[in-house]
Structures are given as C-alpha cells and as structure tokens.
Chains A and B, each alone.
Chain A
Amino acid sequence: MQGRLRTILAITFVALLAIGGPSAQEVPGGQMPVRADQSAVPVAPAVQTPEAPAEPSVTVLGSWQAQGVLGREVRSSAGENMGRIVDVIVDRGGHVHAAIIDFGGFLGVGSRKIAVDWRALRFRPDSAKRDIITLELNRDQVKAAPEYKDKQPVVVLGASGGLQSLPSD
C-alpha cells in the first residue's frame, strides 16, 4: 500500500511538472518525459506569440476493426477461462511484449497476475464469430508461472519456441 501511495504521489508530481513544462516553449515531439531542470527555470514571459501547433492527423477506426484490451476476457484454445487482461507491458521503443492477465480464483480470492507473451494472444473472432481473445496456452501451463510484480523483472510466459530476451542496453 505504501508503494502505491508513493507511486500516486510521484505520478501527480510528474504530471504537475508536465503541465509546467510545455509553457517554456519546447515542442514536445519525442521528448515527453519532462526533465526536472526545465521547470526549475522560470518560464519566459508570455509576450512571445506561440506558433500555431501543426494539425494532428486523424484516423477513424471502426469499432468492429479495433477495440481496447483492458478488462477483456481471455480464453484458451480449448475454451477454458484464463482470466482478464489487466495491463500491457511495453518497452522503451514502444514494442508491446506481454499482457498481464488476472488468472484463477473464485470471487476474487486466489487470483494471480501472470505475464504472457503478446504473440501468444490471438485477437481473431472464433468460429462462432464472437470477439474473444484467445491465448495459445492452457490452464495447466499457466498455473505455475511466477506472479507478476510491479518494479521487478517480468517473467513472460510464451507459447513454445517464441521468446527472446530484450537486448541489454
């Protein structure tokens, strides 16, 4: 609980910095993580006319084409209930590596968070044309995986023969 409270305070602090950041005339671009020294510098007076920001491009996705993943149920190829997706693991290059599923338990008692390889998930509708997420693992394979903990190395479970470690940099 302590860790979560600290996380919330840290996120709030960074959010406040982020609000203070762009007013110092830096175009964010790929520099979204706000550096602390930026806000320490007093903001230049708003006499300069800000440049008109470039128009963002807009794409429309049909709701049958794409949907969110959080909270959606996951089933194994055999139709077993594998839980729900509760988080997504992304590396610094923006590549999605794993999904965290909340697996097992009854009425919330005994459930565990397990990281599964993103490539082991299938998002195609099943034979009955229902929109479900299929995991190419069954309950026996997933049940004994170590639990996912925030801020600790993520142990990702994959369908056989597909995983590579991230290059250390």
Chain B
Amino acid sequence: MVPRPLAVDEAEPPHPSKRSLRGLDWFIFFVADIQTGFGPFIAVYLTSQKWTQVDIGLVLSTGGLIALLGQMPGGALVDAARSERLVAGLALSAIATAALAYAFVPVFPVVLAAAALHAAASCVLGPCIVAMSLGLVGHAGISERLGRNARFAAIGNGMAAAAMGAVGYLWEPRAVFLVTAILLVPTLLALSRIRPAEVDPDRAHGGTVVLKTDHAPADDVRTVIRKRPLLILAGCALLFHLANGSMLPLMGSVVTMRSSQWATVTIAACIVVPQIVVALMSPWVGHYAQIWGRLPFLRIAFGALVFRALLFAVVTDPYLLVAVQILDGITAAGLGVMVPLMIADIMRGTGRFNLAQGIVGTAVGIGASISPTLAGSLSDHFGSSVAFFGLAAVAAVAFTAVWALMPETRASETPAPETRVEVS
C-alpha cells in the first residue's frame, strides 16, 4: 500500500511555546538594532577617520555588490541547514566581528573585508529569521507572525536610529560600532530562548511532501526559478525598489538645501515616522492578510508609493514632508509583511523557500542599486521635482504590473491547525 503523502506542517500542527515566540520577538528587535548601526552611517564614520571619498566609495560598493550576489547562495545555504538557530548565531557573530573591525582597525584592507563579511552574513541572516518564523508557526500562522516580526523590527530600527545618532553625536562615530558589537550579547540570549526542537527544519524550508521516511529531497532548483508568480513578484519588487530606494536620500538632500535650522531634525523625523507607522500597523496587516487575501495590501502599498513620489515633487513645507512619510510607513508595512508572506505561499511544499527569498532579494538589490544612479542623473540634469516625477512614473509601472499580473497567493482553503489534510 502506498503511504499517503502528508505535507509536514499539517501532519503535526506546530505548537510553539510562548518562550520561543517571545525569544523570536526580541531576537528580531536586537538584530534590527545591530543592522541600523551599519548602513549610510559607515560613510560618516570613515569620513571622520580621514578616508578619501574614493576609498569610502570602494568599501560601500564592495559591500553592496556582495550583498547582491550573496542573496541566492545565502538562501540556498539556509535551505540546506538543519539548524536555523546555529546559522543565525554564526551570522550574528560574523556581523559583530565586522563591527569590531570597523571600530578598532579602520585600515583599508580590514574595512573592506569587514564590509564583505557583514554583507555576506546579512544575506544569510535575513532569510534565516523568516525561516525560523516559518519553522515555529507553520503556514497557517505565518501571516500573523510576519506582521509581528515587522513590528519588532520597526521598533528596533527606530530606537536604534535615535540611540546611535545620539551616541555618535555625544561621543564619536566610532562608539556606534562598539555599541553594535555589544548588542551581540542580548541578541544571542534572545536566540537561546527559542527552543531548537520547535523550529522544524523541513517546515522552515517551506515544507516538503514526506513519505513517512526521512526528509524528501526538495524541488529541483530549475522548477523553482520557473514559478511564474515568483518571477512576477521579483519583477514587481525590483521596480518598487528602483523607485523607492533613493526617494528618502534625495528628499533628505532637498531638505538640507531648503532649510538649515531644522534640517537635521526634519530628516530624523522622516526616518522615524515610517518606523512608527510600521510598528503600529504591521500586526493588523498580518492578521487581515489571512482573511482578506494578500493582493489588497500589495496593491495599496504600491499605490501609496506613487502618491508619495508625486507629493515629494510638489510639497515644500518640512512639516508636510514628515506627514508624507506616513505613506512611506504604509508602504513599508504592506510590503514588509506581504513579500515574505507571498514567497512562503508560493514556495509551500517545495523545500526551497529560502532560495526563493534569495531570488526576490536579488531583484530587490538590483533595483535598489540602480535607483541612486537614476535619481541622481535625473536630479542633476532636470532638478529634483522632475526626478521625483520620474520615480513616480517607475512606481506607476510597478503598480500596473502588480494590478495586472500578480495572482493571489493565499491558499484557497487554509486548513485549521487541527484538521488533517490529504495532499494529492
């Protein structure tokens, strides 16, 4: 008699403990703190260390390139791992090492290696977090969980931006990297609260159909790459980040030009307000995406981006600009939950969930890399208003693509955790 195949998560519905879930919450919070310490701040720090602009550019470009190229290998690595917690812990240690290298040995070869290490570790850490979430709660609960993840990440980002800004201002830019390295301790503590037995590796990879034996092989990579909804999602994500990537930096530049007194505070507010919106809205988005489907939120997020670009082109008052950033928060809340959620939907049962995250991550990275060049050249030749209109046009194309091409990915019957479902 041929054993009936059962999808892993429906066979044994996951019951993660409160301790593991809390651990995951705080883990995400601290990782967001750590990652905020890097980013554009590196250029500020290296400038204060008397680096030339060419060398700083090289370091940033190398980091960006590795972050782009490492997305798919990173995802494949997480798919191959049997213990997501171990991989996350190793990636974190690498990032903390990079922070220490920045702080104590700011010479070119070391900083270049540290930037490369940080980029590679981030390529692994990102999918790992979502994989652990999926491993803990399964497909039935992933929507709410991703909403909660986004909340804690936003709180971490916002608080860290304020704290790191203060630390860099009151002490010196180097101190930010020391704080980042010290944050490794609470992060690993939070990671240790997650019970390893509850993070099922097969579930974390998207679940494969098992035949009552050991883990079945995952789907062929070529099959993954040909999944049409995944490619459409990746393409839309690319267009989105092509428009969105340089919107805030360009606006920051314009704010610096227009107002001197409050420029720094305005830009700080423009960074923090979206984080607040994301922290407030994401769990709600995660909850209702399960009920109403994924597409409404995706469409609203892309639409809000178009509005935001148009408003940036015409609004001049600094207070209104901060208000426009609320739209950025709506977009970030929508997309931050929907993208990993839809990838999880599409990759259900394939065992290649993290590779798919890597594929979409690569598309995002390509869009985000081209964005500053596009916005910069438009702004140089035609002024910032035209640049924003150009970005709005790209966002409109993205919106049309989402509206016309993207299918709903929520499973039509989501099995309640207690029911057993036969997978034909």
Contacts and interface: CB of A to CB of B under 8 A. Distances in A.
Interface of A: 1, 4-5, 7-8, 68, 70-71, 84, 86-87, 102-112, 138-140, 142-144, 147, 149
Given A109-B252, A110-B252, A140 B260 contact: yes
B54 A105 contact: no
A66 to B, nearest CB: 15
A144 B249 CA distance: 16
Contact of A110 (B49, B54, B267): B267
B261 interface: yes
Contacts of A142: 260
Contacts of A1: 57, 61, 369, 373
Nearest to A81: B264
B17 interface: no
A106 B264 contact: yes
Interface string B159-196: 00100110010000000000000000000000000000
A107 B41 contact: yes
Contact of A107 (B53, B164, B256, B369): B164
B259 interface: yes
A142 B271 CA distance: 24
Contact of A4 (B47, B61, B261, B271): B61
Interface in B132-184: 161, 164-165, 168
Contacts of A111: 44, 252-253, 256
Contacts of B61: 1, 4-5
Nearest to A109: B252
B48 interface: yes
B226 interface: no
B309 to A, nearest CB: 17
Interface size classification for chain B: 35 or more
A63 to B, nearest CB: 15
A71 B172 CA distance: 13
A1 B42 CA distance: 17
A68 B380 CA distance: 32
5 contacts: A1-B373, A70-B50, A71-B48, A104-B260, A108-B40
B268 to A, nearest CB: 5
A106 B257 contact: no
A141 B265 CA distance: 19
B260 A84 contact: no
A109 B248 contact: yes
Given A106-B268, A140-B260, 7 more contacts: A106-B264, A107-B41, A107-B271, A108-B42, A109-B252, A112-B257, A143-B256
Given A7-B54, A112-B253, A106 B260 contact: no
A106 B25 CA distance: 28
A1 B373 CA distance: 8
Nearest to B40: A108
B257 A108 contact: no
Contact of B58 (A4, A68, A105, A138): A4
